[in-house]
Chains A and B, each alone.
Chain A
């Protein structure tokens, strides 16, 4: 619409800002992607540590190396996935035209992240009677997370889709022998994995939306003004 203004011989002074707005947008996108990537890597490392602890109660002295005990490609993968999902969520919100409105504050996002880590913690630390119980509990917790912090149907749908895809991918990886789980109970993997994926998607989506909030506001302001 700014182009229209330009063509109609309107204010020529808008040309510069238009370009800067474009650059701003790409910059913004890049920054957001980088941030989400870092969040993903960080969460992957920490949560991996939690999962490792599940099996080894006492660590050999060289604990620090056990942080990086997983394969090197896992954290970058998680980071990339986080960046993609975090950018996808606000984008989808805009496309569907139903902006996410529930409690959009950083404190809430932090709360969401904390609950996500808590779910992971519970899955790693709490002794459940059997795997079904563990999976059911985690599923309930994940849905509770969605209800508390998201509540958008699109968010739920995307979360479920990505969780299924990620589970499939993990199955394939394990099937091809890239790595394996200690005690698989759901084909080749652990049955709680989809729940964790779902909760992670919701969390990362929340972060992404919060990051996108500002850019969205500005563009909204602009369309309004134009």
Chain B
């Protein structure tokens, strides 16, 4: 334990120093970090770009031997995949055939019918070729069944035999079928896929040349048909291949062919990413984006949220790059597919630390220097960061010991990534954060308005380092309230809208980026397919391709035997001297618009050497995959092509004609072709559009699913409520801002001493002994129970002096326990109270004023100072004002004045009222409780009175005790009164209904009535003393609380006693404090907490009487205590509000209050704390210690501090300051109630 603590302290101190360093020299550190990132990423340059395209390696044919499996140490240029035999050797026989000389009597079909027909003879030749008892059957790659999904290709592709494909496969390699085929083109095209296709098509496979080059079309201007016969050989026999080559060349000599025949190309295929594999990948990326989005959403209260989010993402990304770079540097080349594991790496490394850092720094007091804030924030989170990192490293270590190579590699990367991420967080992100915070402070200074006061400390868990050692402030978690003028919290609505827009724009951006990435991946994985497709579209579209080029080519006949290089078909040859026969052909055409007929020329150029390069790079994998042979991570060897040239005579072409061939009508098919091209283009466009729309919709749906609530609707009345609905809201609760307006209740002439409420009604009693009853909903003054004198008034001078004295008085005992008699002065008080009536017996109206004011002061006789002798003053004042009775005290509203008079003039006191009515006014009200519409007041004279709150009449009174009542509890129909002498009296209120009717006597128009039992004015109410516990405590009782059928008293004698309410039986005497009890909390759930003068707080189990926890909380008295289900909130004389975890007793954090406001606090809901300040109340998020809002109570009340705070059931807060009451609603709480 000690080691742990010391370690923690050391870590904290180190982080603190580091934070200071980072914040002090931001620019050099950022430069240093960038340099190190670049250095670490440098090895990445050597890495080949990860891709799925095939890789080639060329060797000579002559000295070829099958590469061995041994490591090729000597041959440095030899790639590492070039080991072992290839999957297959590909021998292509490239056939170029043409009908020459071309005759105008020939129809377009003749261009390819007879040349294609010759494929069967060539095939025959190849099949039957034998070289020293080796035949093709022995050497070729034997294939078995096609994949089950390819039934429709069964007729076309070879099965159970040699893998030998040629255009003849369309007709099952049978000449008779070919001859009987009326429409060759239809046969060829019937297998073509309809829509957009990116991989090799059947036509490509069988013809072995790109579709445009085959020349099998009705509009073939060159009239040369090109196709290949592809033979896959399983073993390479150089002599057999050579003899086959020689044989074919001999049979079909190619006159001007100079193709090189000495190179063999080995093509290695990587593992392919198909669309099927892309879908999980895209899913993981989407999840990754969502993760980043939700993480960055949490960054708050900084100058530039997106800047920081960007910095966070940059941190994670560059740490990944660094890890890869470092791994490469130390010789670990990544074999994993980077794109696939990348999202998981990001998720493992995570953005959490970055966010935790931000929150921690932001939650430090704003008035500190930036350096110190950064340092404090860092050191606050140091322990959790280190702990998390250690845990992650442990997990990864465990993963490393699975001894699965792939997992080990992942773990290695993750470890390096974690470490570099930590490094970057510490140096890069911290520095960026310091710059950001400094910017914010500058901006705030410029605006003369600090944006946020009392930043929210992130409180993820209750276990949080209580101290950080080095900071100069005693407690780093103390939230210092700023000067009131500087408090302006949360964002205004406009900014929220802007943020909302910003958020949605982020969504749009993600969609855009996602689309771009998607397209990029498509292009990257299938460059050939897409490119050829696009190229095809372009060439088909352009009029030049069809109309512009052919005339040139058409009139560019070339003599056989000319230099082959100059006869490249793509070269628009200059007008040569035309041959006579050509001219004659042109003349025979007789129409200038008819394409001039030229004899087709078969030419061989270097582009024919490796015609397979023009094919989709998926050509070979596709071919082999039909037979369930994968080429992934393997290679094939492509042998030099064998050229075959076929010249056919026109007669031969005519002989092979099918009877239907001549019926072809070319012109309409031109149209259809154009139409087709157009259609394909439209199809592509529509598909693209559709894909885009679907993607957008998908992402939108995802967005809505993840964030289903509409949190931007500000205009709609339910907007606020909706915002509360947000499942994404991490606070779970955010009271709407700027809509809390306090309601001022004026009317009391002097400072308010007692406050009581039952939720619907609110009763207040001021020092002038005037009791006013207010409607807690509307703030209307309902009743005024006067202190027996409409003439009550006093001189200005007296008032002033009194105020001064009050001011002095209230500071003395400190804290907010002003309304309650202070315990230390009780003995003196006891002496003075009885003396009062004797002094002013004849003037009952004015003496009570003085009495209450000086109830806590030494009596005037005992003082040498004349300033306290107010008797004379008051008398004078009274006599003065006797002449002008209209000068009633001004603040009282006329309506209530009237009412009061009307009530007061008639016999206010019921007949059963004791005749010592006058004495009633002499004593001050020390305690007051309100239940239903009954107000119970405890007087200093020991009298207990019950008033009707609505009518203002005294219903009953009890004078059994003589000692002053210091505290009252009113529960059900029982009243418990604690007296100065330490005795405890239990009273029972009995209601006798004269008419036997429970009448509803609420004032009309008020919708809400007290749910507690109502007493009608006809009822006869009596108050009986049922039991009096004479020596409940050794010393006077200071606190009395009742709830859940228990009465709890706290006393100066250091003990707490628990009584049962029904039978006044003392259940427990709780001992544990070493000072007088000053605060007690008990609620319906039997939670009992007590605080004492020694500053300790004890939590007790009411059922067993045992002490649950005991914490030392404050320097000085604990002035008030509130519990919620999870925490205890205490305030002390040291003006500190501390929040404790209830189960563990650990201090979560504390809030520094202003002087004199310490005791006023209340809990509105589980997560909302309200505290009083100088002329304002502040709302805090209890879970996070986040100051939510400060509400100012009035312009005039700046100097007045809130001394007492009462939370009502409907979430209004009543606080008294000076002689005014203030009603503050928390609207969102109200709405949630609805």
Query: Are A and B physically bound partners?
Result: yes
In the assembled complex, A225 has its CB within 8 A of some CB on chain B: yes
Q: Which residues of A contact B301 (CB under 8 A)?
A: none
Name the segment of B276-284, B669-677, B1134-1142 touching the other chain. B276-284
In the assembled complex, B1232 has its CB within 8 A of some CB on chain A: yes
Name B707's closest neighbour in chain A (CB-CB): A106
Cβ < 8 Å to B, chain A residues 1-34: 5, 8-14, 17, 31
Contact B287–A117 (Cβ < 8 Å): yes
**Known contacts A50-B280, A114-B288; A9 and B1011 CB within 8 A of each other:** yes
**Known contacts A8-B1011, A58-B625; A107 and B280 CB within 8 A of each other:** no
In the assembled complex, B716 has its CB within 8 A of some CB on chain A: no
Cβ < 8 Å to A, chain B residues 834-892: none
**Known contacts A58-B632, A60-B625, A213-B727; A220 and B288 CB within 8 A of each other:** no
In the assembled complex, A66 has its CB within 8 A of some CB on chain B: yes
Q: Which residues of B contact A53 (CB under 8 A)?
A: 276-277
Contact A38–B280 (Cβ < 8 Å): no
Residues 401-440 of chain B, each 1 if its beta carbon lies under 8 Å from chain A, else 0: 0111111000000000000000000000000000000000
In the assembled complex, A158 has its CB within 8 A of some CB on chain B: no
Contact B398–A107 (Cβ < 8 Å): no
Contact A144–B274 (Cβ < 8 Å): no
Contact B1232–A218 (Cβ < 8 Å): yes
Q: Which residues of A contact B197 (CB under 8 A)?
A: 61
Contact B1234–A17 (Cβ < 8 Å): yes
Contact A60–B291 (Cβ < 8 Å): no
Cβ < 8 Å to A, chain B residues 1213-1234: 1229, 1232-1234
Among B274, B288, B350, B730, point to the contact of A59 (Cβ < 8 A): B274
Shortest Cβ gap from A209 to chain B (Å): 10
Name the segment of B255-263, B339-347, B546-554 touching the other chain. B339-347
In the assembled complex, B719 has its CB within 8 A of some CB on chain A: no
Name the segment of A123-131, A178-186, A194-202 touching the other chain. A123-131
Name A65's closest neighbour in chain B (CB-CB): B149
Among A64, A105, A126, point to the contact of B404 (Cβ < 8 A): A126
Name A24's closest neighbour in chain B (CB-CB): B725
Q: Which residues of A contact B291 (CB under 8 A)?
A: 107, 110-111, 114
Contact A222–B1233 (Cβ < 8 Å): yes
In the assembled complex, A35 has its CB within 8 A of some CB on chain B: yes
In the assembled complex, B1008 has its CB within 8 A of some CB on chain A: yes
Among B406, B724, B725, point to the contact of A126 (Cβ < 8 A): B406
Contact B280–A63 (Cβ < 8 Å): no
In the assembled complex, A210 has its CB within 8 A of some CB on chain B: yes
Shortest Cβ gap from A20 to chain B (Å): 8
Name A210's closest neighbour in chain B (CB-CB): B727
In the assembled complex, A121 has its CB within 8 A of some CB on chain B: yes
Per the CB 8 Å criterion, the residue count for chain A at the interface is: 64
Contact B279–A10 (Cβ < 8 Å): no
Contact A5–B1166 (Cβ < 8 Å): no
Cβ < 8 Å to A, chain B residues 1038-1084: none
**CA–CA, A52 and B274, complex, Å:** 13
In the assembled complex, B726 has its CB within 8 A of some CB on chain A: yes
Among B340, B398, B632, point to the contact of A121 (Cβ < 8 A): B340
**Known contacts A58-B625, A224-B1165, A225-B1165; A115 and B347 CB within 8 A of each other:** yes
Cβ < 8 Å to B, chain A residues 72-100: none
Interface size class on chain B is: 35 or more
**CA–CA, A114 and B656, complex, Å:** 65
Shortest Cβ gap from B631 to chain A (Å): 8
Shortest Cβ gap from B626 to chain A (Å): 8
Shortest Cβ gap from B1039 to chain A (Å): 25
**CA–CA, A66 and B347, complex, Å:** 28
Contact A114–B1166 (Cβ < 8 Å): no
Contact B193–A110 (Cβ < 8 Å): no
Contact A10–B1011 (Cβ < 8 Å): yes
Contact A35–B708 (Cβ < 8 Å): yes
Q: Which residues of B contact A46 (CB under 8 A)?
A: 279-280, 283
Contact B727–A31 (Cβ < 8 Å): no
Contact A106–B1008 (Cβ < 8 Å): no
**CA–CA, A121 and B405, complex, Å:** 15
Among A31, A144, A213, A225, point to the contact of B1233 (Cβ < 8 A): A225
Contact A61–B199 (Cβ < 8 Å): yes
Contact A64–B630 (Cβ < 8 Å): no
Q: Which residues of B contact A133 (CB under 8 A)?
A: 402-404
**CA–CA, A57 and B147, complex, Å:** 13
Name A10's closest neighbour in chain B (CB-CB): B1011
Contact B1211–A225 (Cβ < 8 Å): yes
In the assembled complex, A137 has its CB within 8 A of some CB on chain B: yes
Q: Which residues of A contact B1011 (CB under 8 A)?
A: 5, 8-10
In the assembled complex, B1007 has its CB within 8 A of some CB on chain A: yes
| Listed residue (A17, A52, A67, A114) with the most chain B CB atoms within 10 angstroms of its CB | A114
Shortest Cβ gap from A30 to chain B (Å): 12
Contact A110–B284 (Cβ < 8 Å): no
In the assembled complex, B499 has its CB within 8 A of some CB on chain A: no
Q: Which residues of B contact A175 (CB under 8 A)?
A: none
Contact B147–A60 (Cβ < 8 Å): yes
| Listed residue (B147, B291, B728, B730) with the most chain A CB atoms within 10 angstroms of its CB | B291
Among A12, A57, A63, A137, point to the contact of B407 (Cβ < 8 A): A137
Name A148's closest neighbour in chain B (CB-CB): B395
Q: Which residues of A contact B274 (CB under 8 A)?
A: 58-59, 63
Among B271, B272, B706, B733, point to the contact of A106 (Cβ < 8 A): B706
In the assembled complex, B654 has its CB within 8 A of some CB on chain A: no
Q: Which residues of B contact A122 (CB under 8 A)?
A: 406-407
**CA–CA, A218 and B460, complex, Å:** 21
Contact B1232–A211 (Cβ < 8 Å): no
**CA–CA, A17 and B291, complex, Å:** 36
Name B337's closest neighbour in chain A (CB-CB): A125
Name A58's closest neighbour in chain B (CB-CB): B625
Shortest Cβ gap from B1126 to chain A (Å): 10
Contact B705–A111 (Cβ < 8 Å): no
**CA–CA, A206 and B404, complex, Å:** 29
Shortest Cβ gap from B776 to chain A (Å): 12
In the assembled complex, B1009 has its CB within 8 A of some CB on chain A: yes
| Listed residue (A5, A67, A118) with the most chain B CB atoms within 10 angstroms of its CB | A118
**Known contacts A114-B344, A118-B344; A59 and B460 CB within 8 A of each other:** no
Contact A214–B1165 (Cβ < 8 Å): no
Q: Which residues of A contact B621 (CB under 8 A)?
A: 58
**CA–CA, A82 and B41, complex, Å:** 43
Q: Which residues of B contact A136 (CB under 8 A)?
A: 402
Contact B271–A57 (Cβ < 8 Å): yes
**CA–CA, A35 and B344, complex, Å:** 24
In the assembled complex, B131 has its CB within 8 A of some CB on chain A: no
Contact B398–A140 (Cβ < 8 Å): yes
Among B288, B398, B632, B728, point to the contact of A57 (Cβ < 8 A): B632
**CA–CA, A181 and B1004, complex, Å:** 77
In the assembled complex, B732 has its CB within 8 A of some CB on chain A: yes
Shortest Cβ gap from B477 to chain A (Å): 21
Contact A225–B1232 (Cβ < 8 Å): yes
**Known contacts A105-B730, A128-B404; A221 and B280 CB within 8 A of each other:** no
Q: Which residues of B contact A52 (CB under 8 A)?
A: 276
**CA–CA, A144 and B351, complex, Å:** 19
**CA–CA, A141 and B877, complex, Å:** 86
Name B1228's closest neighbour in chain A (CB-CB): A221
Shortest Cβ gap from A61 to chain B (Å): 5
In the assembled complex, B150 has its CB within 8 A of some CB on chain A: yes
In the assembled complex, A164 has its CB within 8 A of some CB on chain B: no
Can you name 20 extra interface pairs (CB under 8 A) apart from A58-B621, A61-B193? A8-B1011, A9-B1000, A10-B1009, A17-B1234, A35-B708, A58-B632, A59-B625, A60-B147, A60-B149, A60-B150, A61-B197, A106-B727, A107-B295, A114-B284, A121-B340, A214-B709, A214-B726, A214-B732, A218-B1232, A221-B1229
- 27 A-B pairs whose Cβ atoms sit less than 8 Å apart in the complex: A8-B1011, A13-B1007, A31-B708, A46-B280, A47-B280, A57-B632, A58-B621, A58-B630, A58-B631, A60-B149, A60-B626, A61-B197, A63-B275, A106-B706, A111-B291, A111-B347, A114-B344, A114-B347, A117-B284, A121-B340, A122-B406, A126-B404, A126-B407, A127-B405, A144-B395, A217-B733, A225-B1209
